[in-house]
Chain A
Amino acid sequence: MSAPLQATTVAPQASRAVRKGLSARDLWPPLLTFALVIGLWELAVRFLQIPIYLLPAPSQILETFLARPAFLLRIGLVTFTNAVVGCAIGASLGCLVAALCVRWRVVADGLVPLAVAASAVPIIALSPLMGIWLGSVSPLSKIAVVAVMTFFPTLVSVYRGLVSPTADALMLMRSYAAPQRVVFAKLRAPAALPFLFGALRVCATLSMIGAVVAEFFGGPQNALGVYIKTQAGILRTREAWSAILVACLFGLAFYLAVVLAERAAMPWKRGRQQ
Chain B
Amino acid sequence: MNTPPIIEFDRVSKVYQSGGGPVTALLDVSLSIAAGEFIALIGPSGCGKSTLMRLIGDLEQPSSGTVRVKGKTPEQARLDRDYGIVFQAPVLYEWRTVRRNVELPLEIMGRPPAERRERAMSLLRLVGLGDFGDAYPHQLSGGMQQRAAIARALSFEPSILLMDEPFGALDEITRERMQTELLSLWSSAAPRPTVIFVTHSIPEAVFLADRVVVMSPRPGRVQRIVPIDLPRPRVFETRESPGFFSLVTEVREALRATENERVEV
Which residues of B are found within 8 Å of A268, using beta-carbon distances?
Answer: 94-97, 136, 138
Q: Which 5 A-B pairs have the closest CB atoms?
A: A9-B141, A5-B128, A268-B136, A1-B188, A190-B95
13 contacts between A and B (CB under 8 A): A1-B188, A5-B147, A8-B174, A11-B144, A166-B89, A174-B78, A175-B83, A176-B81, A176-B109, A177-B81, A178-B108, A186-B108, A268-B95
B139 in contact with A5 (CB, 8 Å): no
Interface residue tally on A, bucketed by range: 20 to 34
Q: Which residues of A contact B79 (CB under 8 A)?
A: 177
Digitize A99-117: 1 where CB-to-B-CB distance is under 8 Å, 0 elsewhere. Answer: 0000000000000000000
CB of A85 within 8 A of chain B?
no
Q: B78 to A177, Cβ gap below 8 A?
A: yes
Residues of B within 8 A of A175 (CB): 57, 59, 78, 83-85
Q: Is A182 an interface residue (CB 8 A)?
A: yes
Closest CB in chain B relative to A209 CB, distance in Å: 32
Query: A178 to chain B: which residues have CB within 8 Å?
Result: 108
Distance of A272 Cα from B136 Cα, bound (Å): 11
B222 at the A interface (CB under 8 A): no
Rounded to whole angstroms, the CA-CA distance of A12 and B58 in the bound complex is 38
Within 8 A of A (CB), among B121-146: 125-129, 132, 135-136, 138-144
CB-based contact B108/A182 at 8 Å = yes
| Bound complex: CA A14 to CA B134 (Å) | 10
Cα separation A191 to B233 with both chains bound (whole Å): 42
**What residues of chain A lie closer than 8 Å to B95, measured between beta carbons?**
190-191, 193, 266, 268
Residue B203, interface by CB 8 Å: no
B84: nearest residue on chain A (CB-CB)?
A175
Known: A7-B147, A9-B143, A268-B94. 9 other contacts (CB 8 A): A4-B125, A11-B135, A17-B136, A166-B91, A169-B93, A175-B85, A190-B95, A268-B96, A268-B138
Write out, one digit per residue, whether chain B residues 66-81 have a CB within 8 A of any chain A CB (1) or not (0): 0000000000001101
| Total of A-B residue pairs, C-beta within 8 Å | 96
Residue of A nearest to B105 (CB): A176
B181 within 8 A of A: yes
Asked if A274 lies at the interface with its beta carbon under 8 angstroms from chain B, I say no
Chain A residues, CB < 8 A from B107: 186
B17 to chain A, nearest CB (A): 18
B104 at the interface (CB under 8 A from A): yes
Cα distance A10–B173 when bound, in Å? 15
B141 touches A168 (CB 8 A): no
Q: What B residues does A9 contact at CB under 8 A?
A: 141-144, 174
**Is there contact, CB below 8 Å, between A176 and B138?**
no
By a CB distance below 8 angstroms, the chain A residues around B129 are: 7
B85 to chain A, nearest CB (A): 5
In the complex, chain A residues whose CB is within 8 Å of the CB of B59 = 171, 174-175
In the complex, which residues of chain B have a beta carbon less than 8 angstroms from the beta carbon of A14?
135, 139
> A168-B87, A176-B109, A178-B108 given as contacts; is B127 within 8 A of A5 (CB)?
yes
Within 8 A of A (CB), among B190-208: none
A33 near B: Cβ within 8 Å? no
